[in-house]
Homo-oligomer: A and B are copies of this chain.
């Protein structure tokens, strides 16, 4: 998943946005009763959990182009049909396949010890015999940037910056830069490889992978993440002041042959304005480690459940509910990029959208990004959600999460729902992203929120556009 680096969100001034409900609620009494019914049903349903259990048990991890990805595309279509969607289809994308291969590493001297590492997504491999070289240690990416050209000739660059734990995941932004661009910066200074402390808040001996990019025209060097305990151990050896020699061997590669995946899209068709869409989404792919339970099995379970329960109402809401399960988010938002291009001409019919790509944890806040004339409607929705512990953020500047951020950029109004993300980065992009990390009770709350939001946006007829 991708997280927006939020900075500090002032809670003062919330009253300016969150005011008492106006007497002219956009939902009728009967519609409000229907909304209440959806809330009660989803708060008592384990459907989201069962969907995640099914996906992680029967499919498992599903990186773009792998057999798991192909199975996931089939699984998603089957589930949408089983769950009573009116339309189900796929939109194909293609890309080169990246192959993780094997990664092994060790400290060679002064105190030989094995290291737990994972290749960063997209990295090249090492020569077959691996690379053995002295470690040049940098506390931060900025320190690496400040190194003189040539100063890393023949060395392995190591950035030991540790991600901070925050409820809104804002520690991710300052940490992830090394992962994304560190290898090329190190290569510009002459380094043979980049190793870095995993972008993660845990102390498990499981490294965190994630996407990296090479700068054009810069030598492509291998890049790997060490688990946090391994990064500690390397730092402790470096602290002793003796040269530290490190060995890294990775068989990662990028294949030139193209592989195919697909966005899987399903709809509960609107009864009065079917061309106007409320879109909810998650990404279908995962990294090729763990079983993708949190990232993003959780979002998949939530949005499928939301559409299912709305589809079970006696009558379809006025607008269409469109569920998009995006392909290849992890490997570069490829599904989202394709979607925006393909749906350029009907983007104005995307009345509002919300993605979920931030794991387990109860939603505590909603942040709109809508036209000013829709703010009364947002306050009304906030009133319905308040009993679930969801407050309304003071700002009207939301960009949707992850894939749907690109739809926001293309003009789609959005609501961003913020969950408690304290534990998320303990498991993000690791082998540890497995079903047991899903909190089944919190999942009921997040599913209820997405269901209520979707129904409200589809039934109220409010124009959220800017």
Chain A residues packing against B (C-beta within 8 Å)? 53, 56-60, 67, 111-114, 116, 203-206, 228-229, 232-233, 236-237, 240, 290-291, 430-432, 434-437
**A232 and B59 form a contact (CB under 8 A):** no
Q: A57-B236, A60-B114 are in contact. List 17 more A-B contacts (CB 8 A).
A: A56-B233, A57-B233, A57-B237, A57-B240, A60-B113, A67-B112, A203-B434, A203-B436, A203-B437, A204-B204, A205-B206, A205-B430, A205-B432, A205-B434, A228-B436, A229-B432, A229-B435
**A204 and B203 form a contact (CB under 8 A):** no
CA distance A290 to B113 in the complex (A): 10
For residue A71, give the distance in angstroms from its CB to the closest CB of chain B. 9
For residue A108, give the distance in angstroms from its CB to the closest CB of chain B. 13
Residues of B within 8 A of A58 (CB): 111
Residues of B within 8 A of A290 (CB): 205
- Of B232, B237, B431, which one neighbours A116 at CB under 8 angstroms? B431
Residues of B within 8 A of A206 (CB): 204-206
**B205 and A57 form a contact (CB under 8 A):** no
How many copies the complex holds: the figure is 2
Chain B's closest residue to A236 (CB) is B57
CA distance A431 to B59 in the complex (A): 27
CA distance A233 to B67 in the complex (A): 18
CA distance A237 to B206 in the complex (A): 24
**A205 and B431 form a contact (CB under 8 A):** yes
Residues of B within 8 A of A114 (CB): 60
- 12 CB < 8 A contacts A-B: A57-B111, A58-B111, A60-B111, A60-B112, A60-B114, A113-B291, A203-B437, A204-B204, A205-B430, A205-B431, A205-B432, A229-B435
CA distance A67 to B114 in the complex (A): 13
**B57 and A435 form a contact (CB under 8 A):** no
CA distance A203 to B57 in the complex (A): 16
CA distance A56 to B205 in the complex (A): 15
For residue A435, give the distance in angstroms from its CB to the closest CB of chain B. 6
Contact (A53, B236) CB under 8 Å given A60-B111, A111-B59, A206-B206: yes
**B116 and A229 form a contact (CB under 8 A):** no
Contact (A435, B233) CB under 8 Å given A60-B113, A111-B59: yes
**A204 and B432 form a contact (CB under 8 A):** yes
For residue A46, give the distance in angstroms from its CB to the closest CB of chain B. 14
CA distance A60 to B59 in the complex (A): 38
CA distance A237 to B54 in the complex (A): 10
CA distance A435 to B236 in the complex (A): 10
Chain B's closest residue to A56 (CB) is B233
Chain B's closest residue to A434 (CB) is B229
For residue A117, give the distance in angstroms from its CB to the closest CB of chain B. 13
Residues of B within 8 A of A240 (CB): 57
Chain B's closest residue to A71 (CB) is B111
CA distance A60 to B111 in the complex (A): 8
CA distance A114 to B437 in the complex (A): 18
Contact (A291, B204) CB under 8 Å given A111-B57, A113-B60, A116-B431: no
Residues of B within 8 A of A237 (CB): 57
Chain B's closest residue to A229 (CB) is B434
Residues of B within 8 A of A228 (CB): 436
CA distance A97 to B112 in the complex (A): 20
For residue A107, give the distance in angstroms from its CB to the closest CB of chain B. 9
Contact (A233, B111) CB under 8 Å given A204-B204, A206-B204, A290-B205: no
Contact (A434, B57) CB under 8 Å given A204-B204, A204-B206, A205-B206: no
CA distance A278 to B202 in the complex (A): 41
